[in-house]
Chain A
Amino acid sequence: MNLFQAVTNALDISLAADPTTIIFGEDVAFGGVFRCTVGLAEKYGKERVFNTPLCEQGIVGFGIGAASAGATAVAEIQFADYIFPAFDQIINEAAKFRYRSGNIFDCGKLTIRAPWGAVGHGALYHSQSPEAFFAHIPGIKVVIPRGPIQAKGLLLSCIRDQNPCIFFEPKILYRSALEQVPIKDYTLPLSEAEVLVEGNDVTLVAWGTQVHVLREVVNLAQEKLGVSCELIDLQTILPWDIDTVAKSVTKTGRLLVAHEAPLTSGFAAEIASTIQTECFLNLEAPIQRVCGWDTPFPHIFEPFYLPDKWRCLDAIKKMINY
């Protein structure tokens, strides 16, 4: 399965297992502009998989209401870039629904899915990685998978988690990433990072597409610099797995965090600051953040904008020679 098929499979399982599950958003009924909901409306009916008017604040508000009244609501925002009209519903409503009511009402059955990240030619409004905006919102969970296996397991966890979740799907991987995804129903734990490669000299942390960039960097660093890297996929941005990262940095003494989103106030800043506090005595070099530049996401300049493997490798070199 590729990533979009893994998403469809997770949604299919959720619709089959839970009769209250509904899936809605712009253009989801015919299968979605990225094919993530293909066949679901035919299989489960137009009452359960349906188009909404083109209005993001409506989609999320509607989802909150449906979830609060007992439905498992899976809302789609067509691109993460267009989630901002729903920012108020997410930040002021979904995230605070349980807290403000003293836990007599909640919208924990809400999941918001959105295609995310660079795609080669998406420019300003089909490329954004807005996770850091949401990382500052107590009350929601933010999850980003790196491939089809994680997409299915983490999405099913989000749908079943009793808190409102935002699930960002790296759209460049929708078709390009192919894996043997288990057909059965399974979940992967939220708020747990995964150590993908063990190493001793430097800890590399990323999520989504950037994990694959850093996987190449692990090999490059070994070949060109003789440096042993430990690679961690954070997977959940909020609440994030501090322990796994801190444990790794305690061992390696060095940390590089890379993300596509702009540097200033990106989520790497939160990780760097926390790890600096947790691992002060173990750090042998300043924590490196290799990120998108502090600009809008450009069209023709995308190759220069992204935190590619050469920029990451250079940051490792700086840390080793510090």
Chain B
Amino acid sequence: MASIRHFCRFARSLKPSYYSSKPIIQSTRTFSVTSWHRQLYEEEEKPQFPGAKSAGYMKKLEFIKPNQYDGIPTYRVLSRKGEILEADQDPNLDEDYVVRMYKAMTTMNTMDKILYESQRQGRISFYMTNFGEEGTHVGSAAALDGGDLVFGQYREAGVLMWRGFKLDQFMNQCYGNTLDVGKGRQMPVHYGSQELNFYTISSPLATQMPQASGAAYALKRAGKDLCVVCYFGDGAASEGDAHAALNFAATLDVPVIFFCRNNGYAISTPTHEQYRGDGIASRGHGYGIYSVRVDGNDVFAVYNATKAARNIAIKESRPVLIEAMTYRIGHHSTSDDSSAYRSVDEVHYWDKQDHPISRLRNYMMSQDWWDADKEKAWMVETRENVMQAFQKAEKSLKPSPTELFADVYDEMPKRLQQQHEEMKRHVEQYKEYYPSEIYEPFRS
């Protein structure tokens, strides 16, 4: 928001000398009046406004129309049948790596199904699935360095899965048990991991975006050959913080990849109520940012784009915007019934005809890396793994109620210590009204 800066005037007249050596207007002070006039005359046909580099003047009025250009094309590597479309675009990943990608995507899919059901049974309070967007997560994560910092929205569990977050850790967070590093303070799916450089998720949308720009600035100053990747949805891109993030990243030249998951919906709001431009990728140009649109259901296209973006980000120290087109096959969350605003047929199309998991499976089968038997065995194995972690997490106690007061500050202020004592005394006195048996005891 702009300030009326009438206070600035007196201050600006006191500019230190270094500033007056800056180009354009200031430097003209050294010209004689005649040479300044001559310069003006000679360049009369080119605009000299400091605010934009302009191709030139135009003598007839013409607005730039939003539909002047065709939409930005969508980059893909694999056909829906899993065939490589252009040989020179094949990332040539080896069998083990591709199978690992497939296993990460399918493990997440299995975990989603089980945790979704467990919420329906009231065993966890909330859940958000990743159905249909597994390819965007794993494709991008696989192209990053493990040291790259990740800022997410909430539908990027596959990035953690790829980086080695254990099923136990996902479950512990969803149950808010004593093994949860977040100490049970946040809603389910708000994961975070220091070891895996995955910043803890928070609910307010797009707030992570300018933070990603700031973290990238710190990384750049620290001289590390690393970048930041920041995930967000097409709805979050409408927040003011998205504008802030892109503009700051561009003007401050920071190595950050903005990765938009455009899945067609923000809860019930379809994209045609979200924006009127050509999606999110088209905004990149306005901010002076390299941008690309990819097929988010094509894990290789996502991989290639992210890998190239990472190179640009680090080598040129500048931001890159990737818009991955996909479709949110699941409900927005367990608190949402998406059939209230979209057809079952539409969902069915994406689930059956254009799914990132089946596309990669087709590719693997065409390479003889996978078959029906392997698929069957893997499904049994991954389901068992998920169920084991699930049962273990469910049995664990919740953290001590003392954790309610810790970490508000680095050290607990006196008033919080007093409130902790007050709560402890109260719960002791009224113990029959509190579920203390499922929590670890108070700490002194």
Most chain B beta-carbon contacts within 10 A, residue among A50, A58, A68 = A58
Docked pose: A1 CA to B202 CA in angstroms: 43
Of all chain B residues, the one with the shortest Cβ separation from A51 is: B251
Kindly list chain B residues whose C-beta atoms are within 8 Å of the C-beta of A61: 207, 209-211, 213-214, 241, 244-245
Let me know if A39 and B210 touch, CB within 8 A. no
Q: Is B221 in contact with chain A by the CB < 8 A criterion?
A: yes
How many Å lie between the Cα of A58 and that of B185 in the bound state?
27
Q: Which residue of chain B lies nearest to A48 when distances are taken between CB atoms in the complex?
A: B221
Q: How many residues of B contact A (CB 8 A)?
A: 63
Q: Which residues of A contact B407 (CB under 8 A)?
A: 98-99, 102-103
Residues of B within 8 A of A27 (CB): 8
A52, A99, A162 interface centre (most CB from chain B within 10 Å): A99
From the candidates A20, A30, A125, name the one contacting B16 in the complex (CB within 8 A).
Answer: A30
8 Å CB interface, B216-253 against A:
216-219, 221-222, 228, 240-241, 243-245, 247-248, 251-252
With a CB–CB cut-off of 8 A, which chain A residues contact B200?
97, 100-102, 104-105
Contacts A31-B14, A54-B2, A66-B217; A89 near B207 (Cβ below 8 A): yes
Taking CB as reference atom, which chain B residue is nearest A29?
B19
Q: Is the CB of B192 within 8 A of A104?
A: yes
Distance, CA A81 to CA B18, complexed state (A): 30
Q: How many residues of A contact B (CB 8 A)?
A: 70
Q: Are A93 and B1 in contact (CB under 8 A)?
A: no
Enumerate chain A residues within 8 angstroms of B16, measured Cβ to Cβ. 30-31, 38-39, 42
> Which B residues, 174 to 225, have Cβ-Cβ distances below 8 Å to chain A?
180-183, 185-186, 190, 192-194, 199-200, 202, 204, 207, 209-219, 221-222
Q: Which residues 136-182 of B have a CB within 8 angstroms of A?
A: 149, 151, 180-182
Residues of A within 8 A of B3 (CB): 26, 78-79, 81-82, 125
Residues of A near B228 (CB, < 8 A) are: 65, 69
B71 within 8 A of A: no
B199, A105: Cβ atoms closer than 8 Å? yes
Is A92 touching B185 in the complex (CB atoms < 8 A)? Answer: no
1/0 contact string of A24-52 vs chain B (CB within 8 Å): 00110111111100110110000100101
**Residues B211 and A58 in contact, CB atoms below 8 Å apart:** no
Nearest A-chain residue to B418, judged by Cβ = A242
Interface check B415, CB cutoff 8 A: yes
* Interface check A2, CB cutoff 8 A: no
Asked if A33 meets B19 with Cβ closer than 8 Å, knowing A62-B217, A62-B248, the reply is: no
Tell me if A63 counts as interface (CB < 8 A to partner B).
yes
| B7 sits at the interface (CB 8 A) | yes
Given A52-B251, A100-B186 in contact, is the A88-B215 Cβ separation under 8 Å? no
B207, A102: Cβ atoms closer than 8 Å: no
> Per-residue 0/1 for B1-26: is the Cβ within 8 Å of any A Cβ (1 yes, 0 no)?
11111011001101110110000000
A243 to B, closest residue via Cβ: B414
Q: Which residues of A contact B216 (CB under 8 A)?
A: 65, 69
- Complex partner residue of B210 from A30, A58, A141, CB under 8 angstroms: A58
Q: Answer whether A62 and B204 are a contact pair too, CB < 8 Å, given A57-B244, A98-B410.
A: no
- A68 and B211 form a contact (CB under 8 A): yes
Closest A residue to B403 using CB positions: A102
- Known A-B contacts A58-B248, A61-B207; the reply to A102 vs B15 at CB < 8 A is no
The smallest C-beta distance from B272 to any residue of chain A, in angstroms, reads 27
- Cβ of B441 under 8 Å from chain A: no
| Chain B positions within 8 Å of A100 at CB level | 182, 185-186, 190, 200, 202
Which residue from A30, A69, A102 sits with its C-beta under 8 Å from B181? A102
- Of chain A, the residue at the smallest CB distance from B19 is A30
User: Is B1 in contact with A56, judged by CB distance below 8 angstroms?
Assistant: yes
B61 at the interface (CB under 8 A from A): no
Q: Are B408 and A33 in contact (CB under 8 A)?
A: no
Please, what's the 1-or-0 string for A105-136, where 1 marks a CB less than 8 Å from any CB in chain B?
11010000000000000000110000000000
Q: Are A33 and B214 in contact (CB under 8 A)?
A: no
* B19 and A58 contact, CB distance less than 8 A: no
Is residue B57 within 8 Å, beta carbon to beta carbon, of the partner chain? no
Give, as a whole number of angstroms, the nearest-CB distance from A186 to chain B: 21
Kindly state whether residue A55 has any CB partner on chain B within 8 Å.
yes
Inter-chain contacts of B1 with A (CB < 8 A): 56, 82, 84-85
What residues on A are CB-neighbors of B211 within 8 Å? 61-62, 64-65, 68, 93
Q: Report how far A81 CA is from B3 CA in the complex, Å.
A: 9
Report the Cα distance A141→B7, complex, angstroms: 28
Chain A contacts of B277 at CB under 8 A? none
Cα-based distance from A33 to B8 in the complex (angstroms): 5
Is residue B413 within 8 Å, beta carbon to beta carbon, of the partner chain?
A: yes
Task: Tell me whether B409 is interfacial, beta carbon within 8 Å.
Answer: yes
A65, B212: Cβ atoms closer than 8 Å: yes
CB proximity of A242 to chain B, nearest CB, Å:
7
Flag whether A303 is at the interface (Cβ < 8 A). no
Neighbour of A125 across the interface among B4, B181, B409, B413, CB < 8 A: B4
Whether, in the assembled complex, A298 has its beta carbon less than 8 Å from a beta carbon of chain B, the answer is: no
> Using Cβ atoms and an 8 Å threshold, which residues of chain B touch A162?
410
For the complex, give the distance between the alpha carbons of A82 and B1 in Å: 7
| Given A58-B244, A100-B185, A67-B207 contact (CB < 8 Å) | no
Contact at B408–A139, with CB atoms within 8 Å? yes
- Add 8 more A-B contacts to A58-B213, A62-B211 (CB < 8 A): A57-B244, A61-B214, A62-B214, A65-B217, A71-B218, A98-B407, A101-B199, A242-B415
Interface pairs (9), CB distance under 8 Å: A22-B217, A33-B5, A33-B7, A55-B243, A61-B244, A65-B216, A68-B199, A69-B218, A100-B186
